[in-house]
Amino acid sequence: MFHSVICSESRKLIAQYMLGLDAEVTYHNFYPQLNQFHPLHFFTSPDSSIISKNISCASIGMNTVGIIRAPRGDGKEAIVLVTPYNPKKVVLGEALSLGVAYSVFSLLSRVTWLAKDIIWLVADSQYGEYSSVSAWLREYQAPQFHRVVVNSETCNESSTIEGKLYSGFRRAGTIAAALVVKVAEDGNHFDDSLNIYAEASNGQMPNLDLINIVNYLAVHKQHLRIKVSKMWSLLGSKWLNTLGVVLECIGQYARRLNPQWKFGIPANEYVEGTATLASSMYYQGLGVPTGPHGAFRDYQVDAITVEISPKVSPTKMNRHIDFIFRGGRLIEGVVRSINNLLEKFHQSFFLYLLTSPSKFVSVGVYMIPFALLGAPLPIVAASLYMFSSKTTPQAPVASEVDFSLESWKWINSAKKVFVIHLWGVAVSLLPYFLCRIPGLTPTNNLTVWGSFAVLSLVILFSMLGYPTSVAVPSEAEKREWANLKSVTLSATFIGLSLMSVINFATAEIGALLIVPFCLMARPLMLDIQARSMRTLLLATCNLALGFIAFPPCAFLLLKSAFDSSGGYNISDYWNWMESLWAWNSATYLYIGIVHLPCWALCIHILFHPS
Amino acid sequence: MEFCFLRILKLTMKVLVMLLLFLGNIKNSTAYFSSSSEATMHTNNWAVLVCTSRFWFNYRHMANTLSLYRTVKRLGIPDERIILMLADDMACNARNKYPAQVFNNENHRLNLYGDNVEVDYRGYEVTVENFLRVLTGRHETAVPRSKRLLSDEGSHILLYMTGHGGDEFLKFQDSEELQSHDLADAVKQMKEKGRFKELLIMVDTCQASTLFSQLQSPGVLAIGSSMKGENSYSHHLDSDVGVSVVDRFTFYTLAFFERLNIYDNASLSSLFNSYNPNLLMSTAYYRRDLYQRHLEEVPVTNFFGSVMETIHTDSAYTSLTNKNFGGAKTKTFLGQSFSSSDINSVRNSDDEDQFNNLTAEEDQHDEAGQCIFCAMDSGHLWSFILGNVITHESVDFFVCYGLVLMLPLLVFSTWLSL
């Protein structure tokens, strides 16, 4: 009860401030969206009709929305400012972000140059920042007319200033761009800086121009340091530094040969660029939005989160006004730049990886390594097929019919590959049923999931007739692995190609893990029989690659690379997978349907009796 | 005998008058013959100022054009002789921090969009078609006079264009282009229709010089802000307005003109030499092979102002009274034969004088004195028109001699008639 009073009081205060600026103020009520696994909703936004009906007033989120109409504008477009704010637990950072947004909002209510309406959304973040913003956006973009409306009269216990508020949902024009403003809680002790978060769901990025505007205004006008997330563990790594120095030397030498060649960059810049690139690729590959801006991208609106990180922590700060002034000027500049545009951002890139706040790798460049990585797959598949079909005539051919059957031998392998992929689908669907069972810890869940996967795989193999190593294999069986590998490679290639269209970064990381293993996999038995230095090395490589490419191991490796704070728990993997499906990330599907079956097939080839 | 002598006298008088008239007509006809060539007097100035681009971020193009508009107006070209074409209305754009004002400098001292701006073609009216119609004068019948370029073969025209351009084209309105041969064709047509004496084309756009490559007509002088392959840059950004407010080439052109007033005698070559490629960040290019006069001798006010060559006359007042007298007398008679009295005023006075002479011819000989004075005055006027052909000193001399010659004749005739 006490909490709810604070809630309503703080909301009322914000609304009063907004009203003081002659803005149109409304409350927007929403149900918190429960993150559930919806197997069929991977590429659609979750439907709001699956809300459980028994939600009380206390658990309803309430956004406060203020709209300033452009005095001479046509009212067809709008810019959104978002400040996430938890009324139940007010922290100083959030309060400061409200202060920055308010100062910008009050300025914008007076200026004469507005051509687009300004919407200030104070998002109620008690159920998460993302869900409140996405609930408001869903209402804004796709109004639902036959929905169980929360009875706002019963829930709005306070009605002192309600008379001036607009009832119902207020809209402005098409959203041109959105800016989420946050203030970091802890000071970073170096400098006033600005963190930019841009990744939305499934690795979608806002138009690069939006990042460029923020970067330009922050660096050149407000003298803030811009930061994008980096993979910190890479910064200290020796081999990367060495590589950077080598590249720098080559660059200098090349410039001496021809002053036109300017590809050499300083070693430290190279290392920082690589660390940023790795992080950019990881967060895009994850497919989970890095902030509330992700909700806008689902409606093709360009949005980023800017987190202003002051030099000293807000609690110890004694120059709040100066801080608000600086942050406000930055936001004002960005808003004005967007306001001056005639169209939505379209000139610059949507597909890119950041290597620094002002540098990027565009799609035309980053496609090349992926294509080079993927190209060997069909070639090796074809050569393996040729190899197996060439060697089969060595076996005595009884008749013409047999011969034609020989050329259709790959059907057998294809059947196997297909079944394994079906197994992958079943494994990825299992968590849907597991979450229905109440009272299971992540570790329990993971154990059940893992054991089911292994059990079903064993059953499948026994049904398919796994060639037992007891009997001496025939010549045809010996060659069977080549056929199987050929089909596996083709399937991997198709899977990776499809994934590169949906989320390129995932496909790129996945290709890095699975392609070497796929290419190198060959029966260990052959290597052991040969007993040469080379084959033993090959076998070791295969085993190591097989270990790395196993999804939980790959996850743990990546995780250790990103946060050096120790304490790895196997249950983290379950939580990670859970977050992937909760955010409808296509990466989950990729792992379940492409990566895992291909890995299992390669392991199968590895232990194939030859 | 007396009668016979009187007849002879009358005949001689007539011969004398006819001789005078004949001489006058010779001078007059030479003027008419040379009207199509360069010898026509520069009698009036026109300016066509065009901003071809839309949208808020092209604010500077409108500011360029309005600045030029203000300059030529300050230097004496009246509004009715300026055709101003603005493709968009920045002043009333919702993004404009200063509603109904346009500035070309971040100091905001000068509002270019004051009370006294007459925009002839605005918004979507600024098209290639309308532009070519204005130049060539081929309008629909309903187009008002204020939207037409009513120039003649004595006109100096300034054609200023700014916008986004490229190799041999200038973009209009984000949707169409004016190509260099379109411009050249229009100018050629203008020349053949006697719509200008001299034409100065000034273009501030990327690769502006390429727009002049097809020009052929004599009397055309062209200057562009940049060579082929070069960009023309804006001068500075006004962070208060939020966009760039003026282009470099125009900025330095205006800087040149700000130092001038209507009485200054700066030459075109001094304007052209004032462009510094380092400041422009492009190379200003001018094409002068079609232009006959020396740029050093041509004052900039010949194009950017309305300053014409004036001719000193000794007896301005008599000439004026006579002109008034003649005009009053002939108004009803000549009313329909001369339509645009404004432009053709000089030639009109010619004809009035001719008429005066005709009436003098029919007069009786006792009015001959007045007639002779008429003739003398009209001789003055012709000399005013002809200027270069016969200087007015020699005409005075000629007339004085004639007067002296007349006196004994007059004495003789009065003695005879007694």
A70 Cβ under 8 Å from any chain B Cβ: yes
Min Cα–Cα distance to chain B from A114, Å: 6
Q: Which of residues 295-354 of A touch B (CB under 8 A)?
A: 336, 339-340, 342
Q: Which of B61, B156, B206, B380 is catalytic?
A: B206
Residues A415 and A311 in one domain: no
HEC assignment per residue over A124-164: EHHHCHHHHHHHHHHHHHCCCCCCCCCCHHHHCCCCCCHHH
| Angle at the Cα of A178 from the Cα atoms of A176 and A180, rounded to 5 degrees | 175
In a domain, A272, yes or no: no
Give B96's contacts in chain A (Cβ within 8 Å).
112-113
Residues A7 and A41 in one domain: yes
- In this prediction, residue A263 has a pLDDT band, given cuts at 50, 70 and 90, of confident
Type of residue numbered B289: D
Q: Where is average pLDDT lowest: A91-95, A189-193, A218-222, A547-551? A: A189-193
Q: Which of B42, B108, B164, B181 is catalytic?
A: B164
Give A70's contacts in chain B (Cβ within 8 Å).
94
pLDDT tens track for A449-482: 888 888 988 888 787 765 544 445 555 666 778 8
Q: What is the pLDDT of residue A397?
A: 46
In a domain, B26, yes or no: no
Q: What are the beta bridge partners of residue A28? A: A63
In a domain, A221, yes or no: no
Give A336's contacts in chain B (Cβ within 8 Å).
242
**What mean pLDDT, rounded, does chain B reach?**
77
| Nearest chain A alpha carbon to B55 | A342
In a domain, B357, yes or no: no
A112 Cβ under 8 Å from any chain B Cβ: yes
Supply B178's token pair.
């004016």
> CA-CA distance, B206 to B218, in Å (whole number)?
25
Residues A429 and A530 in one domain: yes
ipTM of the complex: 0.71
Residues A376 and A320 in one domain: no
Name which of A110, A138, A107 is nearest A33 in CA terms.
A138
Supply B359's token pair.
């009436």
Find the chain B residues whose C-beta atoms sit closer than 8 A to any C-beta of A: 55-57, 92-99, 242-243
CB contact (8 A) between residue A114 and residue B56: no
In a domain, B278, yes or no: yes
Q: What is the pLDDT of residue B367?
A: 40
Judged against a pLDDT cut of 50, whether residue A337 lies above it is answered with yes
In a domain, B122, yes or no: yes
A281 Cβ under 8 Å from any chain B Cβ: no
Domain range holding A15?
A: 1-46+57-206+291-345
In a domain, A113, yes or no: yes
In a domain, B14, yes or no: no
What is the count of structural domains for chain A? 2
Q: What does pTM read for this prediction?
A: 0.76
What is the count of structural domains for chain B? 1
Type of residue numbered A456: S
In a domain, A242, yes or no: no
- In this prediction, residue B183 has a pLDDT band, given cuts at 50, 70 and 90, of very high
In a domain, B119, yes or no: yes
pLDDT tens track for B281-313: 888 888 888 988 888 888 888 888 887 767 777
CB contact (8 A) between residue B94 and residue A114: yes
In a domain, A231, yes or no: no
Cβ distance A154 to A109 under 8 Å? no
In a domain, B364, yes or no: no
In a domain, A489, yes or no: yes
Give A112's contacts in chain B (Cβ within 8 Å).
96-99
Q: What is the pLDDT of residue A346?
A: 81
CATH number of the domain that residue B93 is part of: 3.40.50.1460
CB contact (8 A) between residue A113 and residue B97: yes
CB contact (8 A) between residue A340 and residue B94: no
pLDDT tens track for B321-376: 444 443 333 333 333 333 333 333 333 334 444 444 443 444 444 443 333 344 44
In a domain, B196, yes or no: yes
> CA-CA distance, B142 to B290, in Å (whole number)?
35
Cβ distance A319 to A325 under 8 Å? no
Q: How far is CA A592 from the centre of its chain?
A: 16
Residues A336 and A379 in one domain: no
In a domain, A353, yes or no: no
DSSP 8-state assignment for residue A583: T
Min Cα–Cα distance to chain B from A295, Å: 28
Judged against a pLDDT cut of 60, whether residue B254 lies above it is answered with yes
Give A71's contacts in chain B (Cβ within 8 Å).
94
CB contact (8 A) between residue B97 and residue A336: no
Domain range holding B189?
A: 44-304
Min Cα–Cα distance to chain A from B186, Å: 34
A131 Cβ under 8 Å from any chain B Cβ: no
